[in-house]
């Protein structure tokens, strides 16, 4: 049985910090954020928002748009790394909010859990729910997979310039109008790592930034190698001599902790694939340098990162490679459109990859390209660390969904925070009742109990 994404919706908080304001306050060159990282604005949550209400707002949008009733939804999974309870799953809060609109008990038989594995868990949730449908367990119902996060880093840390927040929800069913997942090729890699993690009770992560960048690329490459083997052995893709697996992906969506990471990772992947091919000779001639190799042949991440000479040469080589017309063509045609939303919103952890997918659909469609039958490759990464590579094909009915996409309208009017407002929000010094934006028709947090017997209980309302 087929299964895939029928529709997709987003919810982005209405506050943001602008990269120029951020750079000025932190004494940074704004060009580092805008060009070096590809960050223009970072969405920030208001005092009355948490990842559960971001998720519920996204769910309500997709349900209302598709005129779905709770009986149409067999499963609701929430994937997040911004959880606020060690036991009670975030989907239960989301269901509680949705039942304020659809009636108490309306989702009584909607199964689901919260999933966690840093930014990759949404991809595992999609895979599991796709297989629920493929196994004919869905009884004609759909699944909602919501990815929702608040990417918040320590004040003054290098991660602080890669923050963001938001939720993306995907409606999955057996007759997807948007994209059908390719069967039997989803591939993963996993390794016990500490590139980025958030110990119990800590609001912000502990991050080893450059280590995480390199680990991301290595893990996704390993998952891509496994995907390639499966794609060939299942007969999904036939690779002719001189071709690579990436030639068979019309679009490539990468996890986007900041938008330029997508380009960096694509360059790494393309180098890895092209290195074996006759075309590599031409590339080396264009660059005018040999590809650098690390001194330590074991090539561990630690040895590579501490090899300053190699790192400098490799950086230079990557920059030149990224400028070659051959790579530029791949970048512009397969990846660039997916980065637009990320630069306006920032890191959404679990939701970043899917915001990129959403962005790519809208902006490629606007170019007048017919997307039917195009294969999309996904490179998902979660710190700690696991990667997943999978793919899907755009379906004939996709225009029904994509023609109305309008990122700016869906984000809505936003308030540009002053530095003082940003600092107060970051330090949790704004009371829930003092939220900065008063939105209608949205779920908001109104109370978090502090008494011993009810500590941590959260109350939400739907603002009529």
Alpha carbons 309 and 408: distance in angstroms, whole number: 44
Rule CB under 6 A: say whether 168 interacts with ligand HMG.
no
Query: In terms of Cα–Cα distance, which of 49, 26, 78 is closest to 444?
Result: 49
Kindly state whether residue 262 participates in binding ligand HMG, applying the rule CB under 6 A. Answer: no
Plot region of 105 (φ>0 → left; ψ -120 to 50 → alpha; else → beta):
left
Size of residue set near ligand HMG by CB under 6 A: 31
Task: Tell me the three state secondary structure of residue 301.
Answer: helix
Q: Site for ligand HMG (CB under 6 A): which residue of 187, 383, 386, 395?
A: 383
| Closer by beta carbon to ligand HMG, 77 or else 381 | 381
Among 35, 109, 229, 323, binds ligand HMG (CB under 6 A): 35
**Residue 207 lies near ligand HMG (rule: CB under 6 A):** yes
Nearer to ligand HMG, 24 or 108 (CB): 24
Instruction: Tell me if 436 sits within 8 A of 47, measured CB to CB.
Output: yes
Note the Cα 430 to chain centre separation in Å. 28
Beta-carbon contacts of residue 35 (< 8 Å; ≥ 6 apart):
none
Of 194 and 419, which has the nearer Cβ to ligand HMG? 194
Q: Are strands 386-394 and 164-173 parallel, antiparallel or unpaired?
A: unpaired
∠ CA 35-40-45, nearest 5°, is 145
> Least distance (Å) from ligand HMG to the CB of residue 387?
10
Beta carbons of 464 and 100 less than 8 angstroms apart? no
Smallest separation (angstroms) from ligand HMG to the CB of 29: 4
173 binds ligand HMG (CB under 6 A): no
Based on CB atoms, which residue is closest to ligand HMG, 1 or 31?
31
Distance of CA 278 to the CA centre of its chain: 34
Q: Which of 26, 32, 222, 415 binds ligand HMG (CB under 6 A)?
A: 32
Coil, strand or helix: which one is 408? helix
Residue with tokens 């919810």: 11
349 touching ligand HMG, by CB under 6 A: yes
Q: Does 162 bind ligand HMG (CB under 6 A)?
A: yes
Q: Is 23 in the site for ligand HMG (CB under 6 A)?
A: no
CB of 153 to ligand HMG, least distance (A): 6
Residue 255 makes contact with ligand HMG by CB under 6 A: yes
CA distance 47 to 436: 8
| Ranges within 91-110 binding ligand HMG (CB under 6 A) | none
76-81-87-93 Cα dihedral, nearest 10 degrees: -40
Contact positions toward ligand HMG, by CB under 6 A? 29, 31-32, 35-37, 81, 118-119, 158-159, 161-162, 196, 207, 209-210, 212-213, 216, 255, 257-258, 261, 264, 315, 347, 349, 381-383
């Amino acid at each position: 049985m087929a299964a895939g994404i029928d529709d997709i919706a987003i919810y982005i908080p209405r506050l943001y910090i602008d990269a120029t304001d951020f750079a000025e306050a932190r004494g940074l060159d704004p060009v580092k954020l805008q060009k070096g990282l590809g960050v223009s604005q970072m969405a920030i949550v208001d005092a009355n928002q948490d990842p559960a209400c971001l998720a519920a707002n996204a769910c309500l949008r997709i349900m209302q748009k598709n005129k779905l009733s709770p009986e149409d939804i067999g499963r609701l999974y929430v994937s997040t790394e911004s959880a606020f309870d060690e036991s009670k799953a975030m989907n239960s809060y989301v269901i509680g909010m949705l039942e304020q609109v659809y009636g108490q008990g309306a989702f009584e038989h909607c199964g689901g859990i919260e999933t966690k594995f840093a930014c990759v868990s949404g991809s595992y949730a999609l895979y599991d729910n796709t297989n629920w449908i493929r196994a004919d367990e869905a009884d004609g119902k759909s699944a909602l997979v919501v990815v929702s996060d608040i990417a918040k880093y320590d004040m003054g840390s290098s991660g602080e310039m890669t923050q963001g927040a938001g939720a993306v929800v995907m409606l999955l069913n057996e007759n997807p109008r948007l994209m059908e997942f390719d069967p039997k090729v989803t591939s993963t890699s996993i390794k016990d790592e500490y590139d980025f993690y958030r110990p119990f009770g800590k609001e912000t992560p502990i991050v080893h930034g450059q280590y995480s960048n390199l680990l991301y690329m290595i893990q996704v490459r390993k998952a891509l190698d496994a995907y390639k083997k499966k794609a060939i052995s299942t007969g999904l893709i036939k690779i002719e001599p001189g071709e690579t697996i990436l030639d068979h992906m019309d679009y490539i969506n990468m996890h986007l902790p900041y938008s330029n990471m997508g380009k960096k990772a694509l360059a790494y992947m393309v180098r890895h694939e092209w290195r074996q091919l006759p075309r590599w000779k031409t590339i080396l001639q264009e660059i005018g340098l040999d590809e650098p190799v690390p001194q330590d042949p074991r090539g561990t991440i630690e040895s590579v990162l501490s090899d300053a000479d190699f790192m400098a040469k490799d950086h230079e080589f990557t920059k030149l490679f990224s400028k070659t017309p051959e790579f530029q063509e791949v970048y512009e045609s397969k990846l660039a459109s997916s980065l637009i939303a990320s630069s306006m919103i920032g890191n959404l952890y679990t939701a970043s990859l899917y915001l990129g997918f959403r962005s790519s659909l809208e902006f490629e469609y606007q170019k007048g390209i017919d997307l039917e039958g195009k294969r999309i490759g996904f490179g998902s990464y979660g710190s700690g660390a696991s990667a997943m590579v999978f793919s899907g094909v755009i379906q004939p009915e996709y225009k029904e969904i994509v023609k109305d996409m309008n990122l700016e309208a869906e984000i809505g009017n936003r308030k540009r925070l002053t530095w003082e407002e940003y600092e107060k929000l970051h330090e949790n010094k704004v009371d829930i009742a003092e939220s900065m934006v008063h939105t209608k028709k949205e779920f908001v947090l109104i109370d978090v109990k502090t008494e011993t017997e009810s500590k941590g209980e959260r109350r939400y309302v739907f603002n009529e």
